[in-house]
A and B are shown apart, each in its own frame.
Chain A
Amino acid sequence: MPETAELSLIDQTAANEEAFKKTGSLFGLETLHRKESDPGTYEAVWHILSNLCNAAWATGCKVSSSPIAAEGGDALWGLHTPTGEAICISRGISAHAGLLSDMIKNFIRIGYEEYPGFKEGDIFENNDPHYGGIHSPDFDMCMPLFHDGKLIAWASCVSHVADAGSVTPGSIGFMNPDCYSDGIAISMERVGENDRFYPWYEMRIRSRTRTPDFVLGDARGRLAGCITIRERLAEVIEKYGLDFVTDASKEYVEDSRRYAVARVKTQTVPGRIRKSQFKDLAMKGKRVLLAKQDIDCMFNLPMEVTIKSDASVALSLQGASGTVPFGENISPTALKSGLMMGYSHIVGFDMFNSGPISAWDVEMPPEGSWANPFPVDFEAASGVAWAPAVTWVSSLYEVFGRLFQMRGFVEEMAAGAGTIMTAEFSGVNQSGMYLTGLTLEQASQGSPARGYSDGQNSAWCIYTPEADFGNAEITELYYPIMFLGRNVAPDSGGFGKFRGGLGHTAVWMVYNTPGLEYSCGDAGMRSKTVANHGMYGAYPVVPDRPAYAHDTNVKELIDAQKPLIHERGAPDNPAVSSKIKAKVMEDNAVAPFVTPEQLQDYDIIVHPIAGAEAMGDPIERDPEAVANDLNESWTTHRVATDIHGVVTNKPNGHVVVDEAATTAKRQEIRDTRKAQALPFKEWWTAERTRIQAQENMDPAVLRMWASSMALSPDYAVELRTFWKLPEDFVFETQD
C-alpha cells in the first residue's frame, strides 16, 4: 500500500478504503508486525498514548472554567491517524469519539487539505449538525500535528458549553423549532492559527452566547488539551521513533477491530434480533415558541441487528418515524457515534478507538426520519439531538445482553439504560451574575440490572463513563438554589428478578435570585410512556415525572421551624403537594417543559433522575432481596406483595420474609396470570379490529405510525401483513 507521504490525505483515505475492501483488514494490515515483533513496546506505547489523552483531559478541564467541564468532566480528547481514525481517547464523554473522527474525515473529504490547507498550529472546529455535528453546544475541535513538516496525526476535543446561543437559554435545546434557532454555528471552520483563536471567533462568541466567559473558557480548555497532546506526542516520537508510533497507531485500530469481531464470534450467536423502542415528546398546550410546536409527538426508534456468519454486524432503523418540530433530530453521523459509544460499553473494546465500528454495516436510516433529517427536512432542529439517540442506543444493551445469555456469558449481560431528563437554570445568581446551564444530576443514574445481580444505585450514565453528579455545594455556588434533598428514589429501577440500580431525587429550593427559569429538559426521557425494556418478564422503569411549586409558604415554614420537603414522596401522595402550599402547584408534571412562571425565592423543584431497567420475572426475585429493599426503604409494601409476591412481617422493627405465605402468594399470582390472560390469537382477532378503528390511540401515536409507514414501505407491509390489514391501510391523522 502506498505510504502517506506519497498521497494526499483524500487519496490516502481512498486507498485505505480499497485496502479494507480487498483484505478485510483496516489499512490492509493483514499482519500486525509491530505487535508481533515487539509486543512489550507495543503495549507500553498504547498506554502512553492513552494517558497522553488523559493528560489533555485533566489539563483542558482545569483550564476550562465552566462547571460542566471543571466539575463534571463533560469533555473528551482524542488522538487520530492522519486520515482521521481515532487511535485512542481520553476519559470523559466517550460518546463523541466517532463524531471527532468523522469531523476530521469530513475536513479531508471536502478538500481542506488543498484550501485553506493544514499547517502546524491550525485550529479547526465544527458544531453544525448539517455537517455531522451533534448539537450546537458540543463544540468539536481538531488540530493537525506535524513532524518534520509532515502531517502525522490529529489531536481532537469536544466540550459541552453551558450556552450556545440557541433560542432558549442553556444547552438542552429541545424547544428549538428549527435549525436557525439552534444557536451559534461553527460550520467546518478554521477558527485560529498558530495556537491562537482569531479575534472574530472570540467576538462572535461574545455577541452570540449568553455566558461567553464560560464558552471561551471551554474553547481555551479544548486548545490547551490539544496542545498537551501535541507536546506529549512529540516526546513519545522522540523516544520510540516516528516509524514505530505511526505503524503501531494503525495496528491499534486494526487490533481493536479484530478484538470486537472475535468477541462477537465467541460470545454471541448469528441471527436476527429485533427491538422496538418508542419515546414520547408531549408538548401540546405547553409554553412553546412557534404555533407548529403546539403538538404531541411520539418517536418510533426501531433497532434490527443482524449478526452475520462472518461475525460482522448489520444494523437497520427501518420504521424510524419522521422529523419533529423540536430540537430532537439527529444526523446519521452523530447517531453512528452514539452507536459506537454504546457498542464500546457492551462489547468492550480492548482498545477504545475507531476499529470495531468498521465491522458494522449501518444501513442509512429512512430519509426524512428523525435519524436522517437532511435534506428532506433541511430546517430540522438538533438542539438536543441526543434525546432520541440515547433512548435508541439503550436497546443495544438489551440486544447484546440477550446474545451473551445465549452463549452462557451471564456475567456480561445487561438490561436497558436509564432515561435522561435534565435540569437547567437561567437567571441571576446570588453573586449578581447571569448564569445558565446544566446541573449534573442526570450524569448519575442507576446502572442496568446484570444477569447475576441488581444494578447499582446512582452510579452510572449511558453517555459517559464519568458518572458523577458533582458536589451539591459546587452546584449551589453557581446557581441560586439550595439542595433540600438528594436521596435514593424507591421503586425506580423497574420490577424484576434483578432490578435496575435505583435513581435519585433532587429537591431544590430557589434562593437568592431576582428570578429564575427552570427548564426540565429532554435529553432522552419518557414521561407519558415507559421503555420497551421488559426483558425476560420484568416491568420497565416508571415514567419521568417532575414537580414544582411556585409562590410557596416555605419561608413561613422555615421561620416557624416546621418540616420542609426533602423527597419525592409516594407516587399517589406526592411530598410537594402534601407538605407545601403554593399558588402554582404542579405535583405530577409531564416533562419536558420550561416553567411558564419565573421562579422566585422559596419556590420548590422536585427533579427525579431515573433508575435503569430490570430483568427477569418479578416473582422470581429472591425474597430476601425484597426484604432488604424494604428495610432500606428502596421499595414499598405494595410492590413487594403485589408485584414480587413476597409477604413479610416486621416482628422487631426489621422486615423478615414469611416463607410459607410468600410461596402461596407466588402460586396465586401464577394462577391469576393464567386465568386473566388470553391465547394470543384470541387477542389478535380483537386487537386488529381496534387497530382499524384507531381505538384509544393518541393523535401522536397515529402520526408516528403514519410517518413510519410512509418512510419505510417494507416496514409498512410487514405491519399490515401481521395484523391482516388491507393493502392500502394507513393510519388517519387529523393533520
Chain B
Amino acid sequence: MAEFDKADIEKLIDGVLPWPATQDMLKSPKDTNRFDKYVEIMQARVDFSDPILLPLTPNLFIVSEGGNRVVKCRCGQGFGDYRVNWKISALIRVRDDEASISEVYVGREMPDPKWMQIREYICAGCGSQLEVEAMPRGCPPDFDFLPDLDTFYSEWLGRPLPDKSEYVDKTLDAIAEWQA
C-alpha cells in the first residue's frame, strides 16, 4: 500500500499540492491509514479540543463532547445530536424573491423564485456558509448524512467506540418538540 506524507495531504486539502503528486495519489493504491491522518490534520485546525469522530464536511465535525456525540463547526459552534439534522440548529437565510436572489444571480442568470428558493445555512459562530440548498417551497432540508457510526468504528475500522448510540434519524423527534 502507498504511504503519503501528512504534509502532502495537508497541501492537497489546501489545493496547493503540485499536479504530479496529486496524480500519484489518484493513481496509487490508497493508504489504509488515511482516515486517521485526515482526522489528525483536521483536529489540529479546529478551535476546540473535543475529539473528532467523523469529519462530516470540511467545516463540520461529529465530535465526542463529554461522552455525547454532537456536531460542531470548526469554530466550536455546536449543532447538537448528530442524529438530528444539524441544519435545524443553524442560522438560515432564504432567498425567495427577485430582490434577494439578484444579489447572487443577475439578469438572465436569475432562477424563478416561484419555482425554487435558495437556502443558505450559516454558522452562528463564525458566519461560514456551511451549505446552500436550491429547492422548491415545501421541501424539507436534506439530512445530508446520517452515519452508522458504531458499525463504522467497530466493523470497518476494527476499534469500537467506548459507548454505543442507536443508528436512527431523530430529526422528526426534535421537530415534534417545537410549537407550531
For B37, the closest partner residue in chain A by CB is A408
Query: Which positions 133-161 of chain B face chain A at CB distance < 8 Å?
Result: 133-140, 142-149, 151-152, 155-156
CB–CB A700/B137 < 8 A = no
CB–CB B145/A402 < 8 A = yes
Could you say which residues of chain B place their CB within 8 Å of the CB of A676? 93
CB–CB B128/A617 < 8 A = yes
- Main SS at interface, chain B: mixed
CB distance from A715 to the nearest CB of B (A): 10
CB–CB B87/A680 < 8 A = yes
Interchain Cβ contacts within 8 Å, total number? 267
Could you say which residues of chain A place their CB within 8 Å of the CB of B162? none
Could you tell me how many residues of chain A have their Cβ less than 8 Å away from some Cβ of chain B? Answer: 96
Q: Is B43 an interface residue when CB atoms closer than 8 A count as contact?
A: no
| Known A-B contacts A272-B169, A697-B137; A409 and B129 likewise in contact (beta carbons under 8 Å) | no
| Known A-B contacts A411-B12, A498-B15, A685-B180; A701 and B138 likewise in contact (beta carbons under 8 Å) | yes
CB–CB B175/A721 < 8 A = yes
Binary interface profile of A, 483-524, with partner B (CB < 8 Å = 1, else 0)?
000000001000100100000000000000000000000000
Could you say which residues of chain B place their CB within 8 Å of the CB of A533? 134
Query: Which positions 255-274 of chain A face chain B at CB distance < 8 Å?
Result: 265-267, 269-274
CB–CB A679/B127 < 8 A = no
Q: Is A652 an interface residue when CB atoms closer than 8 A count as contact?
A: no
CB–CB A680/B142 < 8 A = no
Query: Which positions 20-40 of chain B face chain A at CB distance < 8 Å?
Result: 22, 25-26, 30, 32, 34-35, 37-39
Binary interface profile of A, 146-163, with partner B (CB < 8 Å = 1, else 0)?
000000000000000000
B interface residue count range (under 10 / 10 to 19 / 20 to 34 / 35 or more): 35 or more
Could you say which residues of chain B place their CB within 8 Å of the CB of A553? none
CB–CB A677/B142 < 8 A = no
Binary interface profile of B, 90-117, with partner A (CB < 8 Å = 1, else 0)?
1111101100000111111111111110
CB distance from B108 to the nearest CB of A (A): 4
Q: Is A616 an interface residue when CB atoms closer than 8 A count as contact?
A: yes
Q: Is B58 an interface residue when CB atoms closer than 8 A count as contact?
A: yes
Give complex CA distance A453, B115 in Å: 32
| Known A-B contacts A298-B115, A537-B131, A673-B120; A452 and B152 likewise in contact (beta carbons under 8 Å) | no
Give complex CA distance A271, B58 in Å: 18
CB–CB B151/A270 < 8 A = yes
For A311, the closest partner residue in chain B by CB is B156
Which of B109, B129, B137 has the most A CB atoms < 10 Å from its CB? B129
- Main SS at interface, chain A: mixed
Query: Which positions 37-65 of chain B face chain A at CB distance < 8 Å?
Result: 37-39, 54-59
Query: Which positions 156-180 of chain B face chain A at CB distance < 8 Å?
Result: 156, 167, 169, 171-172, 175-176, 178, 180
For B36, the closest partner residue in chain A by CB is A408
Give complex CA distance A272, B145 in Å: 6
Give complex CA distance A43, B93 in Å: 55
CB–CB B129/A408 < 8 A = no
Q: Is B7 an interface residue when CB atoms closer than 8 A count as contact?
A: no
Which of A412, A588, A687 has the most B CB atoms < 10 Å from its CB? A687
For A408, the closest partner residue in chain B by CB is B38
| Known A-B contacts A266-B32, A536-B130, A677-B92; A273 and B136 likewise in contact (beta carbons under 8 Å) | no
CB–CB A674/B30 < 8 A = no
Q: Is A440 an interface residue when CB atoms closer than 8 A count as contact?
A: no
CB–CB B134/A529 < 8 A = yes
Query: Which positions 692-735 of chain A face chain B at CB distance < 8 Å?
Result: 695-698, 700-701, 704-705, 718-719, 721-724, 731
Could you say which residues of chain A place their CB within 8 Å of the CB of B22? 411, 452-453
CB distance from A719 to the nearest CB of B (A): 6
CB–CB A529/B55 < 8 A = no
CB–CB A572/B122 < 8 A = no
CB < 8 Å: which of A270, A274, A674 contacts B142?
Answer: A274
7 additional A-B pairs beyond A406-B147, A408-B55, A534-B134, beta carbons within 8 Å, are A267-B30, A269-B148, A309-B148, A405-B55, A408-B35, A680-B90, A695-B137
7 contacts between A and B (CB under 8 A): A270-B148, A406-B54, A531-B134, A539-B104, A542-B109, A673-B93, A696-B96
Which residues of A are interface residues toward B (Cβ below 8 A)? 265-267, 269-276, 278, 280, 298, 307, 309, 402-403, 405-412, 451-453, 491, 495, 498, 528-540, 542-543, 545, 570-574, 587-588, 616-619, 622, 638, 642-643, 669-671, 673-674, 676-681, 683-685, 687-688, 690-691, 695-698, 700-701, 704-705, 718-719, 721-724, 731
